[in-house]
Structure formats: structure tokens, C-alpha cells
């Protein structure tokens, strides 16, 4: 068995196979998309550290192969630790994106893939006009390249747990979505739900496995260095000591490195019991009150008691965060707080019993590594961190 090179004690993390075992399991060629993003970058590091770099090809945007290689290596360095970025070569690079018209040579390389892990997409909570085109149209076009493949054993598509929409119960189950309409807070989650439905209905013979991470925040060792996505929200709520959600509302959070290990295991395991999984904290999701307490401990401070506020108070909170002389950033923070308040008020926990049974998934609780996120955020402005989520 492959020994994870990490100081963490999670028992489940020791279960990824060695390169020799991977060969025996039929992992001939792993094609990874989205490797320069947050989740994909951490998955890239996971696969490198597992010794699978010689069996991996990454679809990367770039002006040239050299440019794409530089971006891929930079992603590995950013999303370490322990990545051997220098081992990535041009042989690991395919220049392009999901909607590309591939050359005959690259189509042949796609055709040799035994396992595809699709992390690519436009992960923005803005109203970016390309969200639906990239996440739906281009993803479907990319998946069509593998229809009828005799070598493909698994097409693992990374979705989001919030693709469920806003009309679920408090405990969201791991199951395919129905075909009915549902409400969404942002176009991103709507696009992820739609492409799941279309992948299943358009390509029923594709060996599809859909994996839905919950909120991916920080890294258990590197904190916010790989990405500050979403952590700025916790900084605002912690500093203001107020939000529109109750202190007992749960926030389902997993780290990027735990998420990456789960994706790698689901990608290479020879057989799976289901075709849909949540990567989430599930029943262990912390409450807002617990997160604030953990941040108090991490910062060595404590403030007034947490209380609920109204949406109309977000303008004042935003001004407190950025100061009155930066009204532009304040308005953006106010807008973003309105969006995230909608998610927090849902009080969702995403059931992960399938994943726990399948691979022994035991993620490190957010409250246990929030101190690393606090440490790596020192000296970084909230408005600067927020831009990770509004590309």
C-alpha cells in the first residue's frame, strides 16, 4: 500500500494504491482536467505523490506546450506539500480545454485513457456569461470524445453538492437528481446540476461516476495558500460576530487535500457500489458557533457573543471590514455576503455514508485545521481573498 507523505493522522489516507497495484488494477492512463484549479491542483499533487506521474496526462490551457507545462508545475508547487513538480514533463501535457477541436494525435491520446477525472469548469459564483457554456456545453462535448471507447474504465465527473438546489431537506442524500426544476442561488450550481442530468441521459453507456464535494475550504497543512476560496466569509462572520444564519446552523466543509484523496481513490478503485458520491463532512459538519469558537482559539481573541442580523445590515458589516474609503470593495463584499447567507441559511449537511463505506473516508474536521487557514491569512485583505470566488 502507498504510504501518504503527510503529517496528518487520518487512517483512511493510507489506502491509495501503489503504482504496481495500479497497473494490476488496469490504471493504464489517467487523464486529468482542471489541474491548474483548486481541487484539480490538489488532485494533481495526490497523483504525483502516489507515483502515478508516468501514467498521467493533463489537459491544460496554454499558448504552447511549454507554457502549459509551466502552469501545471506552478499548480503542483502551489498545492503541495511534497509534490515533485520537477517530475512533470511535456509528456504529461495536452494543450487544450474541454471544448477544443483536438488534433488527430491528441484524439489518439484521449482514446488511450483508461480513467478520466474531469475537474475542469468555471467555478465562479459571479454571473459570468460563460458559466453555462463552459460547464454544460463544453463538458458534454468533451465527454463525447469517450463514447464507445474500449479502453475507458471510468469517467469521474466532479460536480458540487450544492447542485441539489435550495429545496432539499437538511440532510441531502447521495443520489442522482430527478428531472424536475429546482431553484439555485447562483448559475454555477445550476450548470452543475444540468450537466449531470445531460451526461446521464445523453451518454448512458459512459462509465460515469459523479462526485459532489461540499464547500471545499483550505488545506489541512497549507491553509489558504493554495486558494483562499470561501475562507474570507468565515473571517467576516468571525470579525462581525453576526450573520443571518443561526449559530446552530451547520456548514459542511472539507479540505482540498482530503477531497483530492477521495477523488483519487474513487477514480482508481476497480469497482464501486454506486455512481454518485458526496465528498463532505456529513453528520460531522460543524456549526457556525463551533467555527467561531475555533477561530477565537486560533486568533487568541474573543469578541462579543454571536447574534443574528438582517440582510440589510450587510452594508454596515462590509464597511466595517474594508473601511469607508474603499466603497467599491465594500459593495462587492455586501453583494457576496448576500449570496453566502443564502447558502448558510439552508443548514445543509450532505450525507457521506456511501463514501465512508466505500473508501473509509474520514476527513479532518474544519475546526481542527482552521488555525492553519487563520495563520496563512494574516496580512491578506478580505477583499483580496474574496476574488478567488468572483473571477
Q: DSSP letters of 118-185?
A: E--S---SS--TTHHIIIIIIHHHHHHTTTT-SS--EEEEE--GGGG-S-S-SEE-SS---SS----S
Residue 202 has pLDDT above 50, yes or no: yes
Per-residue cell: 11: 487512517
Contacts of 321 (CB under 8 A, 6+ apart): 236, 239, 240, 330, 333, 382, 383
- Spell out the alpha helix ranges (H) of 203-303: 231-240, 256-268, 288-299
What's the pLDDT score for residue 122? Answer: 87
Question: What does the DSSP 8-state code read for residue 219?
Answer: B
Coil, strand, or helix at residue 346? coil
Tell me the mean pLDDT in the region 92-100. Answer: 96
Residue 104 has pLDDT above 90, yes or no: yes
Tell me the mean pLDDT in the region 341-366. Answer: 96
Residue 96 has pLDDT above 50, yes or no: yes
C-alpha 324, offset from chain centre: 34
What's the pLDDT score for residue 2? Answer: 32
To the nearest whole percent, how much of the chain has pLDDT over 70?
A: 91
Helices vs. strands in the chain: H and E counts, helices first? 15, 13
The domain made up of 16-221+252-284+348-365 has a fold known as Rossmann fold (3.40.50)
Tell me the mean pLDDT in the region 267-285. Answer: 96
Residue 236 has pLDDT above 90, yes or no: yes
Question: Are 217 and 258 within 8 A, CB to CB?
Answer: no
Name the average pLDDT for the chain. Answer: 90
Per-residue pLDDT band at 9 (split at 50, 70, 90): very low
Per-residue pLDDT band at 20 (split at 50, 70, 90): low
CA torsion 9-234-280-255 (nearest 10°) is: -40
Tell me the pTM. Answer: 0.92
pLDDT digits (tens, 9 = 90+) for 298-334: 999 887 899 999 999 999 998 887 765 455 577 888 8
What's the pLDDT score for residue 332? Answer: 82
Which stretches of 198-348 are assigned E, i.e. beta strand?
208-213, 215-216, 242-243, 253-254, 276-279, 307-308
What's the pLDDT score for residue 65? Answer: 97
pLDDT higher at 331 or 5? 331
Domain boundaries, the chain: 16-221+252-284+348-365
Phi, psi torsion values for 375, nearest 5 degrees = -60, -45
Residue 17 has pLDDT above 80, yes or no: no
Amino acid at each position: 500500500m502507498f504510504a501518504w507523505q503527510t503529517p496528518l493522522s487520518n487512517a483512511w489516507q493510507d489506502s491509495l494504491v501503489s503504482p504496481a497495484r495500479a497497473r494490476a488494477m488496469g490504471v493504464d492512463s489517467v487523464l486529468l482536467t482542471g489541474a491548474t484549479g483548486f481541487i484539480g491542483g490538489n488532485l494533481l499533487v495526490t497523483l504525483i505523490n502516489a507515483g502515478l506521474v508516468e501514467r498521467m496526462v493533463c489537459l491544460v490551457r496554454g499558448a504552447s506546450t511549454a507554457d502549459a507545462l509551466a502552469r501545471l508545475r506552478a499548480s503542483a508547487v502551489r498545492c503541495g506539500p511534497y509534490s515533485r513538480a520537477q517530475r512533470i514533463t511535456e509528456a504529461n501535457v495536452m494543450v487544450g480545454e474541454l471544448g477544443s477541436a483536438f488534433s488527430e494525435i491528441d484524439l489518439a491520446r484521449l482514446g488511450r485513457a483508461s480513467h478520466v477525472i474531469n475537474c475542469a469548469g468555471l467555478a465562479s459564483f459571479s454571473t459570468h456569461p460563460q458559466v453555462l457554456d463552459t460547464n454544460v456545453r463544453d463538458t458534454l462535448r468533451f465527454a463525447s470524445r469517450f463514447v464507445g471507447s474500449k479502453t475507458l474504465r471510468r469517467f469521474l465527473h466532479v460536480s458540487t453538492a450544492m447542485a441539489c438546489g435550495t429545496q432539499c431537506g437538511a440532510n441531502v442524500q447521495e443520489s442522482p437528481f430527478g428531472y424536475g426544476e429546482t431553484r439555485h442561488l447562483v448559475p454555477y450550481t445550476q450548470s452543475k446540476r444540468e450537466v449531470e442530468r445531460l451526461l446521464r441521459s445523453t451518454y448512458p453507456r459512459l462509465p460515469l461516476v459523479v462526485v459532489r464535494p461540499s464547500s471545499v475550504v483550505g488545506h489541512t497543512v497549507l491553509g489558504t495558500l493554495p486558494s483562499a476560496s470561501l475562507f474570507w466569509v468565515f473571517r467576516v462572520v468571525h470579525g462581525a460576530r453576526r450573520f443571518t444564519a443561526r449559530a446552530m446552523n451547520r456548514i459542511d466543509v472539507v479540505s482540498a487535500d482530503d477531497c483530492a484523496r477521495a477523488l483519487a481513490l474513487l477514480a482508481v478503485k476497480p469497482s464501486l457500489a454506486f455512481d454518485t458520491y458526496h465528498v463532505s463532512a456529513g453528520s460531522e459538519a460543524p456549526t457556525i458557533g463551533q467555527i467561531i469558537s475555533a477561530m477565537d482559539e486560533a486568533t487568541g481573541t474573543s469578541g462579543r457573543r454571536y447574534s443574528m442580523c438582517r440582510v440589510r445590515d450587510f452594508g454596515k458589516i462590509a464597511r466595517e471590514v474594508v473601511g469607508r474609503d474603499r466603497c467599491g470593495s465594500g459593495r462587492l463584499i455586501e453583494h457576496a455576503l448576500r449570496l453566502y447567507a443564502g447558502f448558510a441559511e439552508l443548514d445543509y449537511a450532505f450525507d457521506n455514508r456511501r463514501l465512508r463505506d466505500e473508501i473509509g473516508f474520514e476527513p479532518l474536521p474544519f475546526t481542527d485545521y482552521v488555525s492553519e487557514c487563520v495563520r496563512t491569512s494574516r496580512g491578506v485583505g478580505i477583499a483580496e481573498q474574496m476574488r478567488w470566488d468572483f473571477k
